[in-house]
Amino acid sequence: MKLQVNRIFIKDLAFGEETKVENHTLFINKERIVNELKKEPGVKDIDIDFAKPGEKTRIIPVKDVIEPRVKIKGAKGFAGVTTDVAQLGEGIVNVLYGAAVVTIGDIVGFQEGVIDMWGEGAKWTPFSKTYNIVVDIKVVEGLHPHEHEEVVRLVGLKASELIGEAGRNAKIDETVEYGIGDNDEETKKYPNLPKVVYVEMLISQGLLHDGYIYGTCTRQTLPTLIHPNEELDGAVISGNCVAACDKITTYQHQNNACILDLYNRHGKDINFVGVVLTPELTTLAGKFRCCDYTAKLCKLLGADGVIVSEEGYGNPDSDLVMICTRLEKQGIKTVLVTDECSGWDGMSQPLTDTSKESVAVISTGNVSHVVHLEKADKVLGDSEAIANLAGGWDGAYNSESGTLDCELNAVIGATSEIGYHNATVELY
């Protein structure tokens, strides 16, 4: 399976008569895009604005971030969601590289987030560096929270596809190819390299805490083996309001840092044999089932080593260490990627569970660390929303000074557990 990714570098945003790319500027016909998005069921109104790196702009409350793309060859769109179910991961895709669609609107769940495009806040989110097309979505009255979330999710995906069309005939700046064969093929090519499997844990808890694979809610799946290209091509999307700091946005699935790093090392010092997507369930039986199944899949793939990344924290910490225990007891070396919930002073127990087998852990930061965010010149959304977000509190926004204090919990991507942002520390 091979995927060719054509990157079109985006270095500015502007409104125009056409949605197109010209001299690295993405022009958007606001009226046409808004009119198309308003056709989606459940939408009351739509507005679009821009947030560019370095501007004193705050975006809050953020639901999801999606990379705008257009598929040139192969299955199109987010198969199983915006298009019919089809096999993703092959063909050619043109990417508006450096641009991002960011969805905001009325609060759906308390675990949404904030993006600051400048200053202290910009240090903590990867999306302060992207050129953001901010889609403000107002839904019709009377929707239940799950219906509200679904409307917002689908509008964001549709917006990324409509805007992504600007890349169809645009000048290509860079081409990257991703591809590995089946297990037998890669083993014959690299018989002496250790086989490595990437296990990606996905929030699967209901209550606005769910991911989707080809449109299927992960609560309804067993651990699933996929080709890494499938995730890079849009097979996995975010549909959750889990803590903003470590929720894996759709953009981060499309550019999964663990997958990209493993690809960079494939054929050099490792043999990257696949990705296992593992649900994080809330029942004890569900946890045992998924952890046992995950370890079994890794063993069947002949893994010598496994990287396990978490999404969220709290009860999924138990899944994380249970998977590690099962793998290590089978002689499979395991590295865990997680953040820590260590309190404002950093002195609390970082994870809710431990095991003696968990000897190689990569920390992506303390979700409880408090940051002070300066006054914004422009707010897309509502700064008062911080009072109702995880990591915020009543009074966190000072209306007189315009400043905002919050935990990293509230900052989108601040402690990404797929290693997407900031430095990491290895603990042994």
For 50-84, what is each residue's pLDDT tens digit?
Answer: 999 999 999 999 999 999 999 999 999 999 999 99
**290 is a catalytic site residue:** no
- Inform me whether the pLDDT recorded for 117 exceeds 50: yes
| Spatial distance between the Cα atoms of 125 and 132, rounded to a whole number of angstroms | 13
Confidence of residue 29 (pLDDT cuts 50, 70, 90): very high
At a CB cut-off of 8 Å and minimum separation 6, what does 113 contact? Answer: 60, 61, 62, 244, 245, 247, 389, 410, 411, 412
- Inform me whether the pLDDT recorded for 90 exceeds 80: yes
- Inform me whether the pLDDT recorded for 426 exceeds 60: no
pLDDT at 346: 87
Backbone angles phi, psi at 13, to 5 degrees: -130, 145
| Spatial distance between the Cα atoms of 323 and 230, rounded to a whole number of angstroms | 23
pLDDT at 207: 82
Exposure class string for 186-212: b at 16+ Cβ within 10 A, else e: beeebeebebbbbbbbbbbbeebbbbb
What is the value of pTM for the model shown?
0.96
- Inform me whether the pLDDT recorded for 411 exceeds 70: yes
Among 176, 29, 160, 215, which Cα is nearest to 92's?
Answer: 176
- Inform me whether the pLDDT recorded for 424 exceeds 60: no
Q: What percent of the chain has pLDDT over 90?
A: 91
Asked if 82 and 109 count as a contact pair (C-beta separation under 8 A), the reply is no
Confidence of residue 200 (pLDDT cuts 50, 70, 90): very high
Task: Determine the average pLDDT of the residues in 302-330.
Answer: 96
Task: Determine the average pLDDT of the residues in 126-143.
Answer: 97
| Spatial distance between the Cα atoms of 350 and 420, rounded to a whole number of angstroms | 20
Backbone angles phi, psi at 145, to 5 degrees: -55, -40
Q: Which residues pair with 6 in a beta bridge?
A: 94, 175
Asked if 232 and 178 count as a contact pair (C-beta separation under 8 A), the reply is yes
Confidence of residue 392 (pLDDT cuts 50, 70, 90): very high
Among 191, 359, 318, 186, which Cα is nearest to 262's?
Answer: 186
**91 φψ region: left (φ > 0), alpha (ψ -120 to 50), beta (else):** left
Asked if 202 and 312 count as a contact pair (C-beta separation under 8 A), the reply is no
Confidence of residue 242 (pLDDT cuts 50, 70, 90): confident
Q: Give the Cβ contact number of residue 29 at 10 Å.
A: 17
Confidence of residue 232 (pLDDT cuts 50, 70, 90): very high
pLDDT at 240: 85
Task: Determine the average pLDDT of the residues in 6-11.
Answer: 98
Asked if 121 and 16 count as a contact pair (C-beta separation under 8 A), the reply is no
Q: Are strands 333-340 and 99-105 parallel, antiparallel or unpaired?
A: unpaired
- Inform me whether the pLDDT recorded for 423 exceeds 60: no
Tens digit of each residue's pLDDT (9 = 90 or more) over 323-356: 999 999 999 999 999 999 999 998 888 888 889 9
Structure tokens at 237: 């999307």
What integer best gives the mean pLDDT of the chain?
Answer: 95
- Inform me whether the pLDDT recorded for 422 exceeds 80: no
pLDDT at 348: 87
Asked if 404 and 373 count as a contact pair (C-beta separation under 8 A), the reply is yes
pLDDT at 425: 47
Catalytic residue among 217, 241, 290, 406: 241
Please, what is the angle between helix 30-37 and helix 145-164, to 10°?
Answer: 140
Tens digit of each residue's pLDDT (9 = 90 or more) over 217-228: 999 999 999 999
Q: What percent of the chain has pLDDT over 70?
A: 98
- Inform me whether the pLDDT recorded for 149 exceeds 90: yes
Tens digit of each residue's pLDDT (9 = 90 or more) over 155-170: 999 999 999 999 999 9
Exposure class string for 397-416: b at 16+ Cβ within 10 A, else e: beeeeeebbbbbbbbbbbbb
